[in-house]
Amino acid sequence: WAPLLYDYLTHPTASFQNRWFSNWMINSSLFQYRGTLEYIGLGYLFLAIKRGWLARFLLILLGGLILWNVIGILGMILGFPLLHSRMNVFFDVAVMFGLALGIIHLAEVAKLHLQTPPRWLIGGVSMLFLLFLGHNMIIRMNTEEYKLSYNSVPPIEIYDQELISYARGKVFFTNLQTINAHIPLYLFVGTNAHYTHPAAEFEARVAFVEAISKSDNPDFIAWMLTYNKWDKVDGVLWGDKSILFGLDNFPNWNSHRPQKVTFEQSQFTGTYFQQSQSGRWQKIVAPPKDLKASFSAKEKELVAEFAKQ
């Protein structure tokens, strides 16, 4: 919990990847009926407290999960974002372990010699875990997000050998958000507030992107991408004119505040944008720092707000 507490203290108003508690989460919390087998496992853990350390450890884990849910619900009632790590799945794992321990204990009571466990016992316990894991996988595979991901077509740029050799380990400003699934590069900014760490300052980066999008000075844009206060950008890969950001919309957990930002290819030309052979992307040649002296008054205001000082 220490890293989570640190994040909350340093970024108290961030949504923490949409893992806060909201009203819908009451129906998916620990406090609901979860199935007879799971409660048999839970009951056995209480009966086995004195039998060994494993049962005690699992009960401590369950106690922590219950405490986390109580804290989360209090946060939900008070109406402020609170990190929800979705640890509820560990409840199922813990009580299924309890069920397995109960089956083994039952076998011992029945005088079965577990030095060479019978095949039916091994198969039965294994089947319980496989059913549990398989159930979760089936649920995930039937989500719209999974289907969209499975049917998506990768961008043609993944076959660009010049890009592949240059981009490895570098930061790119791009609206092709799936490119880093194919080429090991870093995105300067993603599009979804709920998939970013609060320390990345997602909304501040979006404000920066929107601010430079209004400039028709490519030299200024190249300078800002190089010397911004977050990450030095090494290249630009702009597949379309616009990028659509989904900003945090707490407490409406299942929606975002859309913000569309548009760039023209002409904004990525000039002295400090080196065109690739394919013409689909540009390397940024770092402008001299003193170039900012030639910027307009408005541009200098943006330098003061967004550049590394």
In angstroms, what CA-CA distances link 91 with 41, 62, 63, 186, 258?
11, 6, 10, 35, 35
pLDDT of residue 17: 46
pLDDT of residue 140: 64
User: In the 8-state DSSP scheme, what is residue 200?
Assistant: G
pLDDT of residue 101: 81
Q: Is the pTM of this model over 0.75?
A: no
Find out whether 156 and 219 touch, Cβ atoms under 8 Å.
no
Find out whether 247 and 206 touch, Cβ atoms under 8 Å.
yes
pLDDT of residue 71: 78
pLDDT of residue 230: 94
Rounded to whole angstroms, how far apart are CA atoms 173 and 283?
10
* Per-residue pLDDT of the chain in tens (309 residues, 90 and over written 9): 677 677 667 765 555 444 555 555 555 555 555 667 777 888 888 888 887 788 888 888 888 888 877 777 777 677 665 655 566 667 777 888 888 888 777 777 666 555 555 666 667 767 766 766 666 666 666 666 666 666 667 778 878 899 999 999 999 999 888 888 888 999 999 888 877 777 788 889 999 999 999 999 999 999 999 999 999 999 999 888 899 998 887 666 567 889 999 999 999 998 999 999 988 899 999 999 999 999 999 999 999 999 987
pLDDT of residue 205: 95
pLDDT of residue 285: 94
User: In the 8-state DSSP scheme, what is residue 43?
Assistant: H
In angstroms, what CA-CA distances link 45 with 55, 100, 283?
5, 10, 60
Q: Which of 217, 230, 227 is nearest to 299 (CA)?
A: 217
Rounded to whole angstroms, how far apart are CA atoms 26 and 17?
19
